[in-house]
Amino acid sequence: MRYVLIYLCCLALVSCTSQENFKPPADEDYTSDMSNIINVSSAYINPPMAGRSIASAYMRIQNLTNDKINLISISSPVSQTIEIHNHIYDGGVMRMRKLNNLEIMSGDTVELLPGGLHLMLFETNLSDHKDGIPLILNFENLPPIKTMAYKK
Ligand SMILES: [Cu+2]
């Protein structure tokens, strides 16, 4: 079942990334939850295509701590299951791979962007959320961080 989902997810993403001029808005418009240890900004979500329930989400995560941090899960009231995905080229074809976690070294900034690292939201229902979609990032040994992702 999961293979089927990931395959569908790939289809969804390929069609998303083929859209022209796909650019996140400027920082100041999208910075939501600021923290002095982990700065999560520019979060936005691509809503599911008509008739589908898979969405993708993107953001920038900056680790301002003196240690590496480890993103171990993401939750949201709009989705049953959220996975961290990456893209790999395999025989000239772009495929998605599920990651169990995402480590960010001290001082590093990780960008989740179309065609690269991203969050994949399954069984997504955005009908109760006109603008901001809450995403809760759960880091190992740190309190969860909530950010608002905006519809692209
Ligand atoms: Cu994906």
The dihedral over CA atoms of 99, 29, 54, 71, expressed in degrees to the nearest 10, equals: 20
Domain extent for 106: 2-19+27-151
Could you tell me which residues come within 8 angstroms of residue 26 by beta carbon, excluding any fewer than 6 positions away?
none
Are the CB atoms for 113 and 25 separated by under 8 Å?
A: no
Q: How far is the CA of 115 from the centre of ligand 1 (A)?
A: 9
**Count of structural domains, the chain:** 1
pTM of the model: 0.76
CATH code at 87?
2.60.40.1890
Q: How far is the CA of 8 from the centre of ligand 1 (A)?
A: 9
**CA 110/CA 85 separation, integer angstroms:** 13
Q: How many residues does the chain have?
A: 152
Mean pLDDT, each 10-residue run in order, the chain (152 residues): 50 43 42 66 94 96 94 96 94 93 97 96 92 92 91 86
Please give the pLDDT value at position 35: 58
Residues lining ion ligand 1 (Cβ < 5 A) are 9, 85, 96, 120
